[in-house]
Structure 1
């Protein structure tokens, strides 16, 4: 079933701002475009590129997400005296079990029209290159914030030692409103107390005042985040480990909605890590990064993954004999229809998974051809692409919607109308209207809208795909396509 996700209302304005202003003075004149890590925790010169103001990095535990965040945090020095500067030794100290040496950290840093590559190196005992770092406000929320203060040993004593109200900094109205929107609770007051390196949120609702000692982990972590965002000025770099931090899915969506708005208004760059499909769903394709650790050899950095693909790599479930990676759900329906028509006996042996853009399919196809993915796989590109290693093309030479809508004649459309239980005249009129839209991805949805609420968009495309696979596509081309899948399967 084709089920288009609803994007946050604040995402489109951010995308527009990024596409029009980007690195100008009105956009993000300071931007960390990428990092390169060598000689650290299994990294051997792989690079991570940040292609959007808000990006999220996913991957299994131990894949290297936190390492990327920590390396990014050490890219700059504090912009103002008294500001916080992070050093590599803060994150990667020598211990009785590890000696950090032979390490290099590279940074691709944009400042307006200028792009510089800076390097921090620790060949033996001392880091080199520290004075060469550029200035920028950097804020880092690590995973320790997910531990509420009431889980610390001796927290009862800590509570008694806090000196109220002198240690408390009230939230302003904007901060309180932000916290209320994310948590969907009507806070009448909010503030933050300080105890050593731990902040203690103090919140008030109609039910009364309560502190972090009696808050849930999600509420506590979000209060910490709001307190941090209050301090972040224009053009800051904000890094958040496990951004979902004990929040339920609806709260995660509300949080991302707010981060998009803050990024647009204050031109802040956010780098996040996550294990949440909900977080990935909110992001545009270019903002999703997946790190796949391999037992031997370099890490695989995959951009533009779908949330479903990312979750499948992180989930320990039974795998099919062959995974077919395609661009989107429309292509997935076509592939299923072709298999059902030509070789239905293999349908239960393969899984068809939409993964994102053509470049993502090509990356996965190449990795699959080199046996670097968890299970046998094959990339399937739309017909308007060129074949690459590990990939084959759907029948035709255009994008699926263009290929099918142009290939159908009236008898074929009559078969679709019969399946949909609508009049052929109504269907043809809906098709004519749909083809006036420049965005071919919206054609099936437009047809469904014209046919009325009884006809869902998924059904329209599924019935079109079935008729196409059986009646319209060249039989020899269909057979060759399925044979390529079958050969990879066996």
Structure 2
């Protein structure tokens, strides 16, 4: 058998291509949960969460509503006859001595082929309405309880140590064992699942003897459960996983996400995940990252396309600076820093610059900041080619950052960049001319760095360009106007 650890990790690009070309066809994802809308439940008041990619991760602080979204999604379908489980809203949102669930409406957009249907579940008083009309689909939900070690669960530890206790092990096949081996980076020689009192117990072997969940780490235990679920789930299933990182270290998280991308593409499955992990968020494309932002005074906003750094900063409990600037990417952040350093160097100590995502994300954050719905003082910074928006300022110029800066620098300015990089001016000018032949301006700086050789990093090139542009090439009045806007925000 081929070494299960030797296969290259799958890449996101293949799934992205398949999604962009075949999503609605019979060869693509003819079954897909497009969105959920929640009204009247746990502080939700009609907000929607859209699922824009086959693998989506939802982040947010504890109590933001991530688990509520996952549980609402789990109630979207009734089970197929051959697989899956039918979940009811009362399974997740029961009446208790402390709360009564009523006045709730859950609305789903469900795609089947090229047709999108709207389905609604309502609990206006004592009973849920609309459940008999749900479409059938294989659906599985891995809740956070799976991360609790089996030997800590009442009764299981005692039962497993009884002399007369036996449980047959259903072995994983070679493909499933290889999947578990790749994620955990361990060469399992055998693996499988035993069942006792409806509890799945993983039994593994790496060549030094067999061991069960009673002697596994939580991450290994949870991953074995996931592999067992995927083994039985049919193609086109909806798989929902709460806190997908489940005690895995960052490298294992990356390997897990790569395998989920591969499964989503080959088996046309849909995965909806929740996470507190920057590593998980970093693996996903822009459209697959969702952040639920709660704000002062109650309520929440659903943000799409946020960067992992932005999401983690909002979930971190460190002291925040006097002002946070949200921009699109690291290129814009370096330009902002260069402008401040030339016009008012003291600003850098008082301001944090945070790449947040696409222009639409920055626009949304700017509006939230202007309305006082973010934790601290904030301001959006849009690229110069964007329109003015509430709560935002624009970088100097009129074009995208790379075009603006490369156009503004003349030969003497490029010579100053060459001095900062410690390269010959002629070599740099040739690299710039070569880079500008590429239609995609986002690739210009990387091409310049490649031309100059391995010791010159792309970020170093852009930092040198930004410093010269901010000092010598940008319109001084525009530079002053931009920095004055930041100063006014600090003073307000």
Q: Same fold (TM over 0.5)?
A: yes
What is the CA–CA distance in structure 2 between the aligned matches of 1:234 and 1:55, rounded to whole Å? 18
Counterpart contact for 2:428–2:448, Cα < 8 Å: yes
Q: CA deviation at 1:248?
A: 0.4
Q: Does 1:312 align with 2:306?
A: no
Query: How far has the Cα of 1:406 moved from its partner?
Result: 1.4
Once residues 163 and 330 of structure 1 are traced to their aligned partners in structure 2, the CA distance between those partners, rounded to angstroms, is 65
Aligned ranges 1:368-447 → 2 under 5 Å: 368-447=369-448
3-state SS, counterpart of residue 365 of structure 1: helix
C-alpha separation in 2, matches of 1:364 and 1:58: 16
Alignment-derived partner of residue 266 in structure 1:
267
State the superposition RMSD in angstroms.
1.3
State the match for 1:210 in structure 2: 211
User: 1:5 is matched with which residue?
Assistant: none
1:71-470 matches, within 5 Å, as 71-80=72-81, 83-160=84-161, 167-470=168-471
* C-alpha distance 186-164 of structure 1, shift in aligned 2 (>3 A): farther
Task: Give the 3-state SS of the residue equivalent to 1:392 in structure 2.
Answer: strand
Q: Distance in 2 between matches of 1:230 and 1:174?
A: 9
Describe the shift of the 1:377–1:162 C-alpha distance in structure 2 as closer, same or farther (beyond 3 A).
farther
Cα-to-partner distance string for 1:85-113 (whole Å, 9 max, x where unaligned) = 11111111111111111111000111111
Give, in angstroms, the shift of residue 161 of structure 1.
5.6
Partner Cα separation in structure 2 for residue 451 and residue 164 of structure 1:
68
For 2:177 and 2:165, how far apart are their aligned partners in 1? 20
Judge which range, 21-30 or 212-221, deviates more: 21-30
| Secondary structure, counterpart of 2:248 in structure 1 | coil
CA displacement at 1:163 relative to structure 2: 7.7
CA distance in 1, matches of 2:391, 2:38: 28
Aligned-residue offset at 1:117: 0.8
User: What is the CA–CA distance in structure 1 between the aligned matches of 2:393 and 2:103, rounded to whole Å?
Assistant: 42
CA contact (8 A) 1:309 1:354 kept: yes
1:60 aligned onto 2:45: no
- Deviation for aligned residue 1:162: 9.6
Question: Deviation digits for residues 7-63 of structure 1, max 9, x if unmatched?
Answer: x75200001001111111111111111000011111011110111110000011111
Measured in 2, the distance between the counterparts of 1:159 and 1:51 equals 44
User: Normalising to structure 1: TM-score of the pair?
Assistant: 0.96
Deviations 1:393-447 (A, max 9, x none): 1111111001111121111111101111111111011111111222211211111
Alpha-carbon offset, residue 164 of structure 1: 7.4
User: 1:162–1:195: 8 Å Cα contact kept in structure 2?
Assistant: no
What residue in structure 1 maps to residue 5 of structure 2?
none
Matching residue of 1:485: 486
In structure 2, relative to structure 1, the CA distance for the partners of 1:371 and 1:333 (3 Å cut) is: same
Counterparts of 2:164 and 2:275, CA distance in 1: 36
Cα distance in structure 2, aligned partners of 1:254 and 1:202: 21
Distance in 2 between the 1:422 and 1:337 partners?
21
Query: Which runs of 5 or more residues in structure 2 are unaligned?
Result: 1-8
Flag the 1:196–1:181 CA change in 2: closer, same or farther, 3 A: same
SS of 2:389's equivalent in the other structure is coil
Q: Distance in 1 between matches of 2:462 and 2:158?
A: 63
How far 1:149 moved relative to its partner?
Answer: 0.4
* SS of aligned partner of 1:109: strand
SS at structure 1 position matched to 2:484 = helix
Q: Could you tell me how far 1:81 is from its partner in structure 2?
A: 5.2
**Whole-angstrom distance in 2 between the partners of 1:121 and 1:156:** 41
Conserved? CA contact 2:328–2:359, under 8 Å: yes
8 A contact 1:327–1:354 mirrored in 2 = yes
Query: Which region of structure 1 is more displaced relative to structure 2, 469-478 or 339-348?
Result: 339-348
Offset, 1:153: 3.0
Give SS of 2:108's match: strand
Q: What stretches of structure 1 of length at least 5 have no aligned partner? A: 1-7
Distance 1:178 1:426, change over 3 A: same
Q: Distance in 2 between matches of 1:82 and 1:475?
A: 66
* Cα distance change of structure 1 residues 133 and 424 upon mapping to structure 2, 3 Å threshold: same
Residue deviations 1:261-306 (CA, integer Å, cap 9, x gap): 0000001000000000000010011111111223423211111111
Larger mean Cα displacement after TM superposition, 69-78 or 149-158: 149-158
Deviations 1:349-377 (A, max 9, x none): 11110011001100100000001001111
